[in-house]
């Protein structure tokens, strides 16, 4: 079900209203940026992809079904463009730095806890960048964006079995990179303060 505020904005966007695009941008920019950053590992590329995603939303707004939530469309666009960026440029650098910084600002910690958290995020960023882009996209959407497998399949326009397989092998590769073979990977959740 579409959020009532999003519904109005989408209907206005379909009429070419730039202010409606601005409203959707304000509401969903963090979702798009966080996803692009986690996949590309590059803050500048993530910022470019953020803007490109919303330019496409404006360009193809007339095709958006206002009765459906906008988030899956945004995830799909962001994931597809980020995946293309990774494949085209072959860059493997600086994943999740902005997210780690944001999380550390939201949850103040002692200096020693901060050092441990930064080291852990650095290790996770390196591990994510070491797995293939196909698997990374699924792992990011599942663990960092907390999406269910069936929604990931819909977003990426992939069969459910393919998503499950990529998640399985992505998780295995991530565990291997982190030296956690044989351990169960916890599902990532965001704590409320």
Residue reference for tokens 């200096």: 111
User: Residue 112: what pLDDT?
Assistant: 57
Distance, in Å, from the CA atom of 116 to the CA atom of 54, rounded to the nearest integer, reads 36
Q: Are 169 and 135 in contact (CB under 8 A)?
A: yes
Distance, in Å, from the CA atom of 45 to the CA atom of 51, rounded to the nearest integer, reads 10
Pick the CATH number of 97-178 from 2.40.160.20, 1.10.10.10, 1.10.10.1100, 1.25.40.340: 1.10.10.10
Phi-psi region of 182 (alpha: psi -120 to 50; beta: other; left: phi over 0): left
What fold characterizes domain 4-89?
A: Rna Polymerase Sigma Factor; Chain: A (1.10.1740)
Distance, in Å, from the CA atom of 123 to the CA atom of 82, rounded to the nearest integer, reads 21
Per-residue pLDDT tens digits for 29-67: 999 999 998 888 888 889 999 999 999 999 988 888 888
The pair of three-digit structure tokens given for residue 179, joined into one six-digit string: 């030296």
User: Residue 101: what pLDDT?
Assistant: 52
Name every residue whose Cβ is closer than 8 Å to that of residue 107 and which is 6 or more positions away in sequence: 191, 193
User: Residue 105: what pLDDT?
Assistant: 55
User: Residue 53: what pLDDT?
Assistant: 94
Which regions of the chain are under pLDDT 70? 1-4, 89-118, 182-193
DSSP 140: I
CA distances from 153 to 7, 72, 162, 185 (A): 24, 10, 8, 21
Distance, in Å, from the CA atom of 168 to the CA atom of 170, rounded to the nearest integer, reads 5
User: Residue 52: what pLDDT?
Assistant: 94
b (16+ CB within 10 A) / e for 42-62: bbebbeebbebbbebbbeebe
Distance, in Å, from the CA atom of 186 to the CA atom of 145, rounded to the nearest integer, reads 14
User: Residue 118: what pLDDT?
Assistant: 65
Q: Where are the domains of the chain?
A: 4-89, 97-178
User: Residue 190: what pLDDT?
Assistant: 42
Distance, in Å, from the CA atom of 172 to the CA atom of 65, rounded to the nearest integer, reads 37
């Amino acid at each position: 079900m579409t959020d009532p505020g999003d519904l109005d904005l989408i209907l206005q966007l379909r009429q070419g209203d730039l202010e409606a695009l601005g409203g959707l941008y304000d509401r969903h920019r963090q979702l798009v940026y966080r996803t692009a950053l986690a996949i590309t590992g590059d803050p500048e590329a993530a910022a470019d992809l953020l803007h490109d995603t919303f330019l496409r939303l404006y360009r193809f707004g007339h095709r958006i079904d206002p009765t459906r939530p906008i988030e899956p469309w945004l995830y799909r666009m962001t994931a597809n463009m980020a995946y293309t960026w990774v494949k085209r440029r072959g860059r493997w650098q600086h994943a999740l730095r902005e997210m780690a910084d944001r999380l550390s600002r939201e949850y103040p910690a002692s200096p020693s806890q901060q050092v441990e958290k930064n080291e852990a995020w650095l290790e996770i960023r390196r591990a994510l960048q070491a797995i293939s882009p196909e698997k990374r996209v699924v792992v990011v959407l599942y663990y960092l964006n907390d999406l269910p497998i069936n929604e990931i399949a819909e977003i990426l326009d992939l069969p459910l079995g393919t998503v499950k397989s990529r998640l399985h092998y992505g998780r295995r590769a991530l565990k291997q990179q982190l030296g956690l073979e044989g351990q169960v990977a916890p599902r990532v959740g965001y704590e409320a303060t």
